[in-house]
Amino acid sequence: MGVKKAITGAQAAAEAMRQINPDVVVAYPITPQTPIVEQFAEYVADGIVDTEMVPVESEHSAMSATVGAEAAGARAMSATSSQGLALMWEIVAATPGLRLPIVMSLVNRALSAPINIHCDHSDVMGVTTVGWIQIFSENGQEVYENLLLAVRVAEDARVQLPAMVNQDGFITSHAVEPVEIFDDALVRKFVGVRSMERALLDVEHPKSVGPLVLPDYYFEFKRAQEEAMSKVFEVYREVGAELSAITGKQYPFFEAYRTEDAEAVVVVLNSAAGTAKAAVDAMRARGKKVGVLKPILFRPFPYAEIRDALKDAPVIGVLDRSMDFGAYAPVYTEFRNALWELDKRPAMQSYIYGLGGRDVMTTEIETVFEELLSGKLDPEHQRYIGLRG
């Protein structure tokens, strides 16, 4: 049993970092990520953690310094949002190829322009192709546990890849909810200490990190990186089982909520999954068979498991909190791909919701379910929830 604290999602991330006690944290303030590093800086100032905190002048430098520390052999962490992620993109994209298991909080916020500080997923959906493990969190509790999990998955010898733990800007990061914080000693034993096997600062075994690789080898390194990503599934399950021993919870690749006999399923990431589950409960009470599938592990994407979970669903609506302009939305694309191999494919509908922090209500999701159940779909065109006009 842990201790329940009334804290924000940002503080939940900082609590996880306190227990992880990384060697180095480098970050640059950006709303709505700032309270994570503010809280963590207090832990550093109060001597509660042993971390060297490096203030830098930009996110590009933040990720560069995090990479440097991690390559040296440190356990290094960072946190960012939106434009900050965009500015660090060059180094974010280099990190998986360097096989550096950095863990970073991403507090999801809309990308400019127009400038907006509120939640959507346009920041993370711009980096899903570069090779970070992507984990999504519905609330502060999941943020906390996912960060603990991410450190172990990322650093596993079979993986050695960076991981981003996502939470919704403001909705999760700034809202106070009870979060159960588990015993420091147990959690610290679980996260352990990073292996120094690949440390650059090992004078007994000098090595070069990040050399130029031309057409004769680049392709092979990228193939090896893909192999590491494919190992994440088994490692995630193993590490999840270990974490379960502390928390008593399960760590599936996704949460299937009341989907077994569902005649319509809504797929949605992060905090809106909570809203969707409330809509499901309301509709179930009225005798409507509906369910929600909430992806948690988004990279690597568990195609086979998703396919199995949705094989009996007659109709699926996928809700995206970002757009891929001129193309199918990112989450919808993955689910279409996942279900292609089914003999009897479900009907599908893409919905866009909540851009720039627009609220999504249970009633709106109930309307989506009614639409899905009515069969009046238009798979060629995405629909918009809560949009004027």
Partner 1 sequence: MSERKAWQELELGLALPAATSLGYKTGGWRVLRPVWNASECTHCMICVGYCPDMAIPVRQTDEGVPGKGGRVFKGVVRLEGNLDYCKGCGICAHECPTKCIGMIREEEAEQAACKL
187 alpha-carbon distance from chain centroid: 20
- Among 99, 109, 118, 289, indicate the residue that binds partner 1 (CB under 8 A): 99
Nearest in space to 314 (alpha carbons), one of 347, 282, 352: 347
Order the strands of the 264-267 sheet from edge to edge.
254-257, 290-295, 264-267, 315-320, 347-352, 383-384
What is the rounded distance in angstroms from the CA atom of residue 212 to the CA atom of residue 223? 17
- 196 touches partner 1 by CB under 8 A: no
| β-strand partners of 265 | 291, 316
- Among 58, 217, 361, 363, indicate the residue that binds partner 1 (CB under 8 A): 217
Nearer to partner 1, 217 or 340 (CB): 217
- 98 touches partner 1 by CB under 8 A: yes
DSSP 3-state of 222: helix
Quote the crossing angle between the two packed helices 184-191 and 218-247, to the nearest 10°: 160
Contact 149, 177 (CB under 8 A): no
Nearer to partner 1, 219 or 340 (CB): 219
Subset of residues 154 to 173 that bind partner 1, contact rule: CB under 8 A:
160
The residues, any chain, with a CB within 8 Å of residue 119's CB and separated by 6 or more, are 32, 108, 109, 110, 168, 169, 170, 171, 271, 321, 354, 357
Q: What's the min distance (Å) between Cβ of 226 and partner 1? A: 9
Subset of residues 220 to 249 that bind partner 1, contact rule: CB under 8 A:
220-221, 223-224, 227
Nearer to partner 1, 216 or 380 (CB): 216
- Among 201, 207, 325, 326, indicate the residue that binds partner 1 (CB under 8 A): 207
- 209 touches partner 1 by CB under 8 A: yes
Q: What's the min distance (Å) between Cβ of 220 and partner 1? A: 4
Stretch that binds partner 1, among 74-82, 95-103, 105-113, 361-369 (CB under 8 A): 95-103
| β-strand partners of 27 | 55
- Among 97, 346, 356, 386, indicate the residue that binds partner 1 (CB under 8 A): 97
- 215 touches partner 1 by CB under 8 A: no
Nearer to partner 1, 158 or 311 (CB): 158
Size of the site for partner 1 (CB under 8 A): 22
- 202 touches partner 1 by CB under 8 A: no
Stretch that binds partner 1, among 41-49, 93-101, 252-260, 379-387 (CB under 8 A): 93-101
Nearer to partner 1, 36 or 232 (CB): 232
- 340 touches partner 1 by CB under 8 A: no
| β-strand partners of 352 | 320, 384
Stretch that binds partner 1, among 178-186, 218-226, 271-279, 295-303 (CB under 8 A): 218-226
Ramachandran bin of 359, using left for φ above 0, alpha for ψ from -120 to 50, beta for the remaining angles: beta
The residues, any chain, with a CB within 8 Å of residue 50's CB and separated by 6 or more, are 21, 23
Quote the crossing angle between the two packed helices 9-20 and 34-45, to the nearest 10°: 40
Stretch that binds partner 1, among 51-59, 116-124, 216-224, 295-303 (CB under 8 A): 216-224
**Binding site residues, partner 1, CB under 8 A:** 97-100, 160, 198, 200, 206-211, 213, 216-217, 219-221, 223-224, 227
